[in-house]
Amino acid sequence: MNRAISRPQVLVIIAGAGVLAISLGVRQTFGLFLVPMTLDLDWSRGLFGFAMAIQNLLWGVAQPFVGGFADRYGAGRVIAMGGILYALGVVGMANAITPAELVITGGVLIGLGMSGAGIAVVYGAVSRAVTPENRTYAVALVSTIGALGPMVLPSVSQAVIGAAGWFFALLAAAVIVVLMTILARLFKYAEDVSTDEPDLDLREVLSAARKNSGYLLLVAGFFVCGFHVTFIGTHLPGYVDSEGLTAGVGAVALTVIGFGNIVGTYLAGESSKKYRQKNVLSFIYLGRAALIAAFMMLPTTQWTVYAFAGLFGLLWLSTVPLTSGVVARIFGAKHLGMLFGFVFFSHQIGAFFGAWLGGVAFDKTGSYNAMWYASIALGLIAALLHWPIRDQPMDRLVAPQAP
């Protein structure tokens, strides 16, 4: 049975959920700007996709280093700095005129900002703030509440785009991003809660991770998650447009994905109490592959798009607390920000290819079919990669944890 969660831990969970809601919620809106920005500025979808790909790649490249910095010096400072960079990037994206400006602002600045105010830093802080047996549940709770952002903000953003245009919608998003710097103050409580895990030499932890086959399989499998969610998050509105449906359908679909996120991440947390996390991950990736295959076979109407979005939303962020939970189960929480950062780097390499190749595929063929088929194949591969993972705690590195 889980121990009670204390008031300081609740504050950290609230702060983490708020940061994720803003960080991931604003990111979820970027696909809505693909069509209006490319039309108004005469850009290709490949260019827009490349900027989003750079954003995701730099988010991933910086994540292990930023996560390690947060592990050592505190998550609050890192999140505040990340929030400022993120906001500057969104403002710059709104004012971008040339392709280079789009890549620098929407790609580089936002990517670096998200690494500071992103998943690995938040999950590391939350995991350190609670007892080992509560970790996956607390992270899933943060993800569940944080999923309100991806659910609400796409519809809000589309409404602002429709009423005032994409420029003012981006400025409004920048104002929302700045709120993360206020929430960052609550993370001071994460460092006030200690665990019984030993303070190990960083080189020893990295050496153990490099030799652990389960960790390496987890790194490889998380590539697929990044490919899936970033391709769909960036290009689903464009796919909807190419199928002759209205922009509003794309916005509603992203909102429905956000709603599915809430349910899916909650169920992921509950499942971690009864089933091995790595097995649940296998079923999630298998479910993604089956769902995309069904979506390809059905006619594209607004209702099939909504149904796909809702069901895929159940499988969207539900992978993240489970993946973080496997890392914490094997290695503990002392260096979770850095170790999960390396896993997340793989996720962002997948995100790079999902965003970029989605635009390239459409520009070359006028269709997203090749990307959908690739997503099916990758889902099956990820399901196979996760099943054999050995997730036993390493005795010298962590205290015993509940399954």
What's the whole-number mean pLDDT along residues 321-350?
82
Are 63 and 118 in contact by the 8 Å Cβ rule? The answer is yes
Q: Tell me if residue 6 falls in helix, strand or coil.
A: coil
pTM more than 0.85: no
Q: Alpha-carbon distance 273 to 402, whole Å? A: 8
Within-domain flag for 274: yes
In this prediction, residue 151 carries a pLDDT of: 84
Q: How many domains would you assign to the chain? A: 1
Split at pLDDT 50, 70, 90, the class of 360 is: very high
Are 250 and 31 in contact by the 8 Å Cβ rule? The answer is yes
Domain containing 69: what range? Answer: 7-192+200-386
Within-domain flag for 211: yes
What's the whole-number mean pLDDT along residues 346-370?
92
Within-domain flag for 334: yes
Q: With helix as H, strand as E and coil as C, how does 81-139 read?
A: HHHHHHHHHHHHHHCCCCHHHHHHHHHHHHHHHHHHCCHHHHHHHHHHHCCHHHHHHHH
List the structure tokens of 296.
């390809």
| Lowest-pLDDT choice from 160-164, 176-180, 191-195 | 191-195
List, in sequence order, every beta strand (DSSP E) within 134-275. none
pLDDT of 1 > 50? The answer is: no
In this prediction, residue 401 carries a pLDDT of: 47
Q: Which runs of consecutive H residues, i.e. helices, occur in 272-318?
A: 277-297, 302-314
Within-domain flag for 149: yes
> For 158, phi and psi rounded to 5 degrees?
-65, -35
Split at pLDDT 50, 70, 90, the class of 316 is: confident
pLDDT of 268 > 70? The answer is: yes
Q: Alpha-carbon distance 75 to 120, whole Å? A: 10
Straight-line distance from the first to the last Cα atom of the chain, in angstroms, rounded to the nearest whole number? 11
Percent of the chain whose pLDDT exceeds 70: 92
Q: Alpha-carbon distance 144 to 30, whole Å? A: 21
In this prediction, residue 266 carries a pLDDT of: 83
pLDDT of 402 > 90? The answer is: no
What's the whole-number mean pLDDT along residues 322-334?
80
Q: Smallest Cα–Cα separation from 166: which of 176, 177, 158? A: 158
What's the whole-number mean pLDDT along residues 332-355?
83
Are 83 and 181 in contact by the 8 Å Cβ rule? The answer is yes
Split at pLDDT 50, 70, 90, the class of 21 is: very high
Max mean pLDDT among 89-98, 329-338, 354-363 falls in 89-98
Within-domain flag for 395: no
| Lowest-pLDDT choice from 186-195, 304-313, 332-341 | 186-195
Within-domain flag for 1: no
Question: Which residues 6+ apart lie within 8 Å of 151 measured at CB?
Answer: 25, 255, 257, 258, 259, 261, 262
Q: Alpha-carbon distance 343 to 348, whole Å? A: 9
pLDDT of 397 > 60? The answer is: no
Split at pLDDT 50, 70, 90, the class of 395 is: low
∠ Cα 48 66 85 (to 5°): 50
Q: Smallest Cα–Cα separation from 347: which of 219, 226, 217, 218? A: 226
Q: What is the CATH number of the domain that holds 234?
A: 1.20.1250.20
Within-domain flag for 20: yes
Assign 3-state DSSP to the chain and report helix, strand, coil percentages, each to 5: 80, 0, 20
pLDDT of 250 > 60? The answer is: yes
Are 117 and 180 in contact by the 8 Å Cβ rule? The answer is yes
Within-domain flag for 400: no
In this prediction, residue 197 carries a pLDDT of: 54
